[in-house]
Structure 1
Amino acid sequence: MGYIVGTDRGQASLLPARIEDYVAGDAPVRVIDAFVDGLDVEALGFGRAAPAATGRPGYDPRDLLKLYVWGYFNEVRSSRRLERACWRDVEAMWLLRQLAPDFKTIADFRRDNGPAIVGACRAFVLVCRDAGLFSARLVALDGSKFRAAASAQKIMGRQEIGREAARLDATIAAYLAGLDAADATEPDDAPEAVEAALAALRARRTELDLMAARLDETDRTTLVDGEEDVRPMGAGRGPKPPSYNVQTAVDADTGLIVHHDVTDEPTDRRQLHPMARATKASLGRDALAVVADKGFDNGAHASACERDGIIACVPAQRSVNSQGDGTLFDRTAFTYEAASDSFACPAGRRLLRKQLQRRDRAVIYASPDCSGCALKPRCTTAARRLVTRHLDEEALNRMDARATPQMMRARRCAVEHPFGTLKRMTAGGRFLTRNLKGTRTEMALSVLAYNILRATNISQAAA
C-alpha cells in the first residue's frame, strides 16, 4: 500500500481555486478585515487617509493597519518578515488582496501613525462595549515590565559619561595635533577622512553634554544612551535592564483589556487613579470597582478614586515598628480620635499633633511626656513615643478592608493571563521600537490583537 499523494505541481487547472477558499469562514483574520474596514481612518488621524490627487498612488492605510494587526496576532512584528509574509502566507495574501508593500513602507507606517494606531485600539474597545461584551462588574489592574530595545550596556551614569567624555577629549586633541602636523607638511592636501572622523567625535561629545544636562534636569542617576525615555527597572538583585512599565485594566469576567498604557514609572504606586479613571471613561460608567495588588497602594490615589466614584480594592502596605527587635507596640495599638486630632496610647496618655510632612502626606504625633509610664519599656526606647498618620488614612483603611482574599484571587485570575499572552506575542516581552512613542504604538497593536483573539474566542464559545 502506498502513501497519500498530493496534487501534481505541474497539473493545469481549468478553474483555479479561489484564495477565498483557503481562509476558513470563522478565521480571526476575517474579524481583523471587517473591523479595520469599519474604521474612520481620517477621523483617527491616519496619514494618507484620502488618496492624493496627483503623484504616485500610495497604499490605503487600512491595508497596512490590517497587515500589522494580523502580524502581531501571529507573532510576526518585523517589517521585513511582514514583507515576506505578503508573498508566502495565504492569510496575508487574502487580507491584502495580494498586495505586497516593501518593508520600508510597512515600517514607516508604524512610525508615522502611532497616535492613530492607539486610537484604533481604543475603537475596538468601544465596539466590544457597545456589543455588550464587557460586564465591568470588576476591573483588575496590574503592571508588568517589558524589555526595551536598548541594551543594558547602554545604561550610563555620571561616571560613565565623564569617562567617555575624557576619552573623547583626548582623541579629539590627538586628531587636532595630527591636522596641525599635516597642515605644516602638506598645506594644500586636506585630510578629509580625518575631518569626518573629527566631526563625528565632536557630535558624540555634544551628545554626552546633553545627557549630562538631562541628568541634572530630571534628577535621575542614570540614562540609557539612544533611548532617553526608558529606565532600568525590574525585580531581583541583579542589574536592572532597560524596560518600560506596561499597565493594563482587564475586565474580570471576560478577560478583555479595557485600557492600557506604557509608562516609564519603575513602580505602580502612581498608577491607580489614572488607570482607574481612564478605564471608567472608556466604559462610560458612573461608578467602577477596581482591584489591584499592594504595589498600587497610594493614599492620595485612594482618596481621588473615592471622589471620582471608583471603588478601589487594594491592600495597604503598612510600616511596622522595627525598634526593640520588633517587640514594641505597633501603631495599631494607638487609637486615633478625630475630634481632638490626637492618639490615645495603651496607657491612656495623649499623643498630640507635632509636624506635617507634606512630601509624604503624613502627620507626626508625639507624646508630651512618657516619663513614669509603666508601659514605656514595651512602647519605645526613645525619650517619647512618635506615631505617624497618613492624611488619607481613612481612605486607605477603607481601600484595604475591601481587598478581601476573594477579591485578590479574582485579580490574579483576571490579570495574569493577558500579560502572559501579550509577552508571548512580543517574544517574551521585548519591544522592537524605541522611546514611549514607539513602544506605545507597539503595545496598542499587541493589545488590539489580543482583544480580537479574546473576543473571537468568547463569540465562538457562546455560539
Structure 2
Amino acid sequence: MPRFKHYNYDQDAMVVINYQEQLQPGTFEHAVHYLIEHKLDLTIFDPKYNNDATGRVAYDPAILLKIILFAYSKGITSSREIQWCCETNIIFKALSCDTVPHFTTLAAFVSRHADEIEALFEQVLLVCHEQGLLGNELFAIDGCKMSSNAAKEWSGTFKELGEKRTKLRHLIQHHLKEHHQRDEAETEAELDRDIRRAKTTLSLDESLKKVDRFLKTSSPRMGQGKRRKEVKSNITDNESGKMTTSKGTLQGYNGVATVDKKHQIVIDAQAFGEGQEHHTLKPVLETVQHRYKKLGIADDIYQTGTNVTADTGFANEANMQYLYEQEINGYIPDNRFRSRDPKFAQQKDKYGKRHQNKASSSWKKVIPASEFQFDPMTMTCVCPAGETISYQGQREAENGKTRVHFEGRLLQCRHCPKKHQCMQNPASADHRKGSGRQVSFTIENKRQPNYTDWMKHRVDSPQGKAIYSHRMSVVEPVFGNIGTNKKLNRFSLRGKKKVQGQWQLYCMVHNIEKLANYGQMAA
C-alpha cells in the first residue's frame, strides 16, 4: 500500500514574510518600487489632498501607484479585482505593505489625476534618457483604436437624436395607452404582463429624459476637416468618436503613441476622439518638441537629424506642408506608395484576396470607368449600355486634382443587362438598396507641384525606403505588448482627459519594463 505525506487543514502556522525580499531585482515589481521610492517626485500629488489639519488619513500615492502599475502589467484593469489581489497575492501585499485600498479609492486615483499622471510619464521618460535608452534617431507614430465606456447606440447627429427622442415619446404613449385600456387585471398572467409593461415604460421614460437633456444642454459636434461638417455626437461620452476598424465599427478613442527606435520607448502618448489620424500629427509633433525642451534633452529635437515616420493614415497635403515648413525629416507615404514600388508589383497576384481564386464564380472583372463616355464640355456621361447617368458634382482631392462624379439611377441599373459586369454589388439593386454604378473622372490634369509630391519623392528614394522600413518594427511591437500581454482592449473611463491618463499609464508600464530589462535599476 503506498504511503503519502500527512496533511491537516486544521493545523495553524505562523509565516514570517519580509516584503522587501519579495521584490527581487530584475523583476517589474522591483523596478516599479525602486523608481517610485528613489527616482520619481510624487509631491505633485500633494495639492489634491486637503487633510493636513482635518479629515481622514489618506493612502500614500506611492502605494496606490505601485499597486495600479503592477496590476496593469499583469493585465488587471478592474479595481475590484485589484482590491482582491491586495488581499490574496503576496506581491501585491509586498508593494502595498499589506494595506488593502478600497476599489473606489483605486478607481478615483486613476480618473482624478490625469495631469499628475502625465507629469509622471515625463519623469519616467527622463529616467530612460539618463540611462541611455533613447536614441533620438527615428520616431515612429501610429494609433491604436479601442472602445471606450460608451455605447455606439447612443450616437448620432442632432437630427438623428431628435428623431430618436420622437420615437421614444411615441413608444411611451403606446404603452400608456394600452395600460389605460385595461382597467384591471383579470388574471395573474395579465397582472404580470402589466408589471412588465410598466417597467418598460419607466425604462423608456429614462431614455427619453437622457436624450432630451443632452439635446438641450449640448451643441452639435463639428468635424476637423475644412468643411467643418457635423459629426455624430454621443450622449454618454461626447468626446469619444465612432470609428471604423478592421473588426467593425466601435465607439471609442484612438490612442496615438510616438516611439523611439533604439529600445522602443514611448516618448508621447495621447488619446483622440476621432477615427481619422490626419489632424493628430501636428499636435503630437509639437508635444514631443515641447517635452524634449522642457526635460532638457534637446532644444529642437527635429533639427538634430531625427527622422519621423508614420503610416498613410497621417498623410494629407496640410501635414506635408507642415513638415516642409518646419524642416522636419518626415517620411509619410501616400496610399499609392506600394503600387509605385517594383518590388510589390506582383503582391496582389500572390497575396490579394481578389486574386486567390480567379476561376471561382465569385470573382468578376468590373467594367472600368474608361469605357464610359465622358464629355467634359457638357459635363455628361453615358454608360456602356447607352444610358446617361446623373451628374453628382465636382470635388477637389487632397493631391490638388479636381474630379467630377457621376452616378446611375437605381431604376436605370436594376434592369440593365450589363449590371453584373458593371456594378460592384448587383444584388443591392435587386433588393432596392444602394445606388447605381458610380464613376469619376479627372478634369484637371495640369497643376502645380504640391507638398505631397515633395513627400512622394522623399519616400520613393532609396534612403526614404530604408528609413520607412523601420516604422512597423518600432511601433507595432509596443501595441502588441500593451494589447496582448497587458490585455488592454478597451478604455474603462469616460472623457478625453481621463482616457488619456489611462493610456499614459499603460505606456508608462511599457517604459518601466524597458528600464527593468535594459536599464540600470539598483539591486
Instruction: Please tell me the TM-score bracket, short chain as reference.
Output: 0.7 to 0.9
Shift, 1:105, TM fit: 1.2
The one of 446, 458, 464 aligned to 1:387: 446
Q: Distance in 1 between matches of 2:204 and 2:139?
A: 57
Q: Distance in 2 between matches of 1:9 and 1:311?
A: 70
Structure 1 range deviating more: 438-447 or 205-214: 205-214
Residue 271 of structure 1: SS of its match in structure 2? helix
Shift, 1:216, TM fit: 7.3
Residue matched to 2:413: none
Please state if 1:234 is matched with 2:294. Answer: no
Amino acid at match of 1:76: I
Aligned-residue identity in percent: 19
Residue 248 of structure 1: SS of its match in structure 2? strand
Please state if 1:279 is matched with 2:288. Answer: yes
Residue matched to 2:68: 68
RMSD of aligned Cα (Å): 4.2
Preserved contact between residue 278 and residue 315 of structure 2 (Cα < 8 Å) = yes
Structure 1 residues 61 and 426, CA gap change in structure 2 (3 angstroms): same
Amino acid at match of 1:115: D
Alignment of 1:5-404 (within 5 A): 10=11, 12=13, 16-37=16-37, 38-43=39-44, 47-48=48-49, 52-157=52-157, 160-170=160-170, 200=206, 203-210=209-216, 213-215=219-221, 219-236=229-246, 239-283=248-292, 284=298, 285=301, 286-287=303-304, 288-317=306-335, 324=370, 362=400, 386-389=445-448, 391-393=450-452, 395-401=454-460, 404=464
The one of 408, 432, 443 aligned to 2:468: 408
Residue 234 of structure 1: SS of its match in structure 2? strand
The one of 510, 518, 521 aligned to 1:450: 510
Q: Distance in 2 between matches of 1:383 and 1:438?
A: 46
Amino acid at match of 2:147: R
Shift, 1:9, TM fit: 8.0
Structure 1 residues 126 and 232, CA gap change in structure 2 (3 angstroms): same
Name the TM-score, length of structure 2 as normaliser.
0.66
Shift, 1:202, TM fit: 6.4
The one of 478, 481, 491 aligned to 1:418: 478
Amino acid at match of 1:392: Y
Shift, 1:361, TM fit: 8.2
Shift, 1:128, TM fit: 0.7
Residue matched to 2:419: none
Structure 1 residues 201 and 397, CA gap change in structure 2 (3 angstroms): closer
Preserved contact between residue 33 and residue 95 of structure 1 (Cα < 8 Å) = yes
Amino acid at match of 1:206: D
Preserved contact between residue 161 and residue 212 of structure 1 (Cα < 8 Å) = no
Residue 226 of structure 1: SS of its match in structure 2? coil
Q: Distance in 2 between matches of 1:94 and 1:101?
A: 14
Listed as ranges, the gaps of 5+ residues in structure 1 are: 181-192, 327-356, 365-380
Preserved contact between residue 265 and residue 514 of structure 2 (Cα < 8 Å) = yes
Name the TM-score, length of structure 1 as normaliser.
0.73
Residue 308 of structure 2: SS of its match in structure 1? strand
Shift, 1:34, TM fit: 2.2
Residue matched to 1:342: none
Residue 48 of structure 2: SS of its match in structure 1? coil
Shift, 1:84, TM fit: 0.8
* Per-residue Cα deviation, 1:383-420 (whole angstroms, up to 9, x for no partner): 98632445425642454345733223311111110001
Shift, 1:210, TM fit: 4.0
Structure 1 residues 234 and 46, CA gap change in structure 2 (3 angstroms): farther
Structure 1 residues 26 and 406, CA gap change in structure 2 (3 angstroms): same
Shift, 1:197, TM fit: 8.6
Structure 1 residues 176 and 114, CA gap change in structure 2 (3 angstroms): same
Shift, 1:234, TM fit: 2.6
Structure 1 residues 175 and 456, CA gap change in structure 2 (3 angstroms): same
Q: Distance in 2 between matches of 1:161 and 1:67?
A: 42
Preserved contact between residue 363 and residue 388 of structure 1 (Cα < 8 Å) = yes
Q: Distance in 1 between matches of 2:161 and 2:473?
A: 45
Shift, 1:124, TM fit: 0.6
Residue matched to 1:378: none
Q: Distance in 2 between matches of 1:413 and 1:45?
A: 40
Shift, 1:80, TM fit: 0.7
Amino acid at match of 2:262: D
Structure 1 residues 390 and 47, CA gap change in structure 2 (3 angstroms): farther
Structure 1 residues 44 and 408, CA gap change in structure 2 (3 angstroms): farther
Residue matched to 2:353: none
Structure 1 residues 309 and 389, CA gap change in structure 2 (3 angstroms): closer
Amino acid at match of 2:11: G
Q: Distance in 2 between matches of 1:258 and 1:412?
A: 16
Residue matched to 2:392: none
Q: Distance in 2 between matches of 1:130 and 1:167?
A: 61
The one of 402, 406, 429 aligned to 2:489: 429
* Per-residue Cα deviation, 1:129-149 (whole angstroms, up to 9, x for no partner): 122210111111111211222
Q: Distance in 2 between matches of 1:382 and 1:449?
A: 51
Residue 387 of structure 1: SS of its match in structure 2? coil
Structure 1 residues 199 and 53, CA gap change in structure 2 (3 angstroms): farther
Structure 1 range deviating more: 86-95 or 144-153: 144-153
Structure 1 range deviating more: 67-76 or 142-151: 142-151
Listed as ranges, the gaps of 5+ residues in structure 2 are: 181-198, 293-297, 340-367, 373-394, 403-439
Q: Distance in 1 between matches of 2:442 and 2:57?
A: 82
Structure 1 residues 390 and 52, CA gap change in structure 2 (3 angstroms): farther
Structure 1 range deviating more: 267-276 or 206-215: 206-215
* Per-residue Cα deviation, 1:252-287 (whole angstroms, up to 9, x for no partner): 121111111111231222233332333344342343
Q: Distance in 2 between matches of 1:63 and 1:114?
A: 17
Structure 1 residues 40 and 212, CA gap change in structure 2 (3 angstroms): closer
Structure 1 range deviating more: 67-76 or 301-310: 301-310
Structure 1 residues 227 and 407, CA gap change in structure 2 (3 angstroms): same
Q: Distance in 2 between matches of 1:95 and 1:243?
A: 33
